[in-house]
Amino acid sequence: MTTTLFTDARLIDPVAGAERRGDLRVADGRIAGPGPADRVIDCRGRCLAPGIVDWGVKVGEPGERHKESFRTAGLAAARGGVTTMVCRPDTIPVIDAPEALEYVRDRARDAVVRVRHMAALTRGRTGREMVEIGFLRDAGAVAFGDGTHVVVDTKVLSRCLTYAASLGAVVVGHPQDAGLSDGACVTNGKFAALRGLPGVSPLAERLGVERDLALAEATGVAYHLDQVTTAAALPALRCARAAGLDVTAGTSIHHLTLNVLDVAAYRTFFKVTPPLREEADRLAIVEALAEGTIDVISSMHTPQDEESKRLPFEEAAPGAVGLETLLPAAMRLVHAGHIDLARLWRALSLNPARRLGLEGGTLDVGAPADLVLFDPDAPFVLDRWCLASKSKNTPFDGARMEGRVLGTWVGGVPVFERARADA
């Protein structure tokens, strides 16, 4: 395998929580110490960081390949600096049995980046019957959850968490009160009232978080809240962390950088689950990220075709693509002074890798050479038709952004180089 030396790089080290100017050598697919190199890449002072581990990617295989395939998702990931996609189980059919997991693992070979898979927590994501967690874990599932479906039956959820805890499995929950959030498409408030759209109170998320944390405490399970998006949910999360519970929390890049006013004239590309929040909530979540209460940032990549989005706001399918826009959108937080690059990369790479027991997220010697080279200040206007994803439902279409990926390497092998892609 070719040995590569990256010179004059701005190295982003999330483990040390710092950045420094220097060189980095790759040999045999891993980060190595000083030595000879077959190829030298002059980074010219641009940022070199561990590849992004994107936890919560939806791929359309099986059942909705017309929206996204593993091949196109992998290409989009590479262009966005994502070296590992952790895929959700909310497919058609659901990934709730070892044979279904085996199928998607086989199909994922089409992707140019690493792919790991979550499995459902209940059969068919119906919240009634627990899946075979042990068999699915043996088959390669890295976590278990029903996606945006909430397990309403507390007794069923408690049994699932107890069994998962006995196996050391990570469970992912979507914190919402299903009754309060049913039928809602925006967050309650003046904007929702003026637009005549059905809204949901932030209380729905608070109740969901408090219930799930109580069950996590009772069962001792390793629990991850996939999308914490409101200020009302943070006190319970902070208390759980202070009490030493094995609980982590994530949020989506859309909830960190957009708010409910972006829906504007019923723009369905801004319809996501949970709905975009008030600006005060967005700032509270950004602060929680900076202090470490929020551990993980994900794209929550959810491809939808044009027919699913070109509908009245209430009827349009929720979700947005985000594999290619995750990094430049995250740069908004850096340029606004909310967070530095090292802290940001803990949430984008190191924390999800550690939580799921994956290699990566670090520049330490011996770690996999999954790397992204990017210019954090490079400006561009996003054109959704230039995205590699099959679906183009991005809320950032036409937006002025900063931060461009120049190259992505998986195991030391280049899977995207902008100079070649633009040639």
Asked if residues 331 and 403 have their Cβ atoms less than 8 Å apart, the reply is yes
Which domains does the chain show, CATH number per domain?
51-362+377-399 (3.20.20.140)
Note whether 288 and 234 are within 8 A (CB). yes
Q: Which residue has the tokens 């080290």?
A: 13
For the record, the structure tokens of 258 come out as: 């957009």
CA atoms of 83 and 87, how far apart (whole Å): 13
Contacts of residue 120, defined as CB under 8 A and 6 or more positions apart, other chains included, come to 89, 90, 94, 95, 96, 131, 144, 145, 146, 147
pLDDT value for 332: 98
pLDDT for the residue numbered 174: 96
| Structure confidence at residue 421 (pLDDT) | 60
**What residue type is assigned to position 111 of the chain?**
A
**Predicted local confidence at residue 348, as pLDDT:** 98
The one-letter code for the residue type at 282 is R
Alpha-carbon distances, residue 276 vs 227, 236, 238, 239, 383 (angstroms): 11, 21, 22, 25, 22
Residue among 91, 386, 395, 183 nearest 272 (CA): 395
Question: Taking the model in full, what pTM does it have?
Answer: 0.96
d(CA 170, CA 83): 21
For residue 211, how many other CB atoms are within 10 A of its CB? 18
pLDDT in tens, 95-144: 999 999 999 999 999 999 999 999 999 999 999 999 999 999 999 999 99
Q: How, if at all, do strands 222-225 and 247-252 pair?
A: parallel
Output the pLDDT for position 4: 96
Q: Tell me the pairing of strands 82-87 and 52-57.
A: parallel
How big is the chain, counted in residues? Answer: 423
Q: Which helix (H) or strand (E) holds 82?
A: strand 82-87
Consecutive 10-residue runs of the chain (423 residues): their mean pLDDT? 93 95 97 94 98 97 96 98 98 97 97 98 97 97 96 97 98 95 91 90 96 98 98 98 97 97 92 96 98 97 96 95 98 97 98 96 97 98 97 97 98 91 56
Element (H, E) at 379: strand 371-381
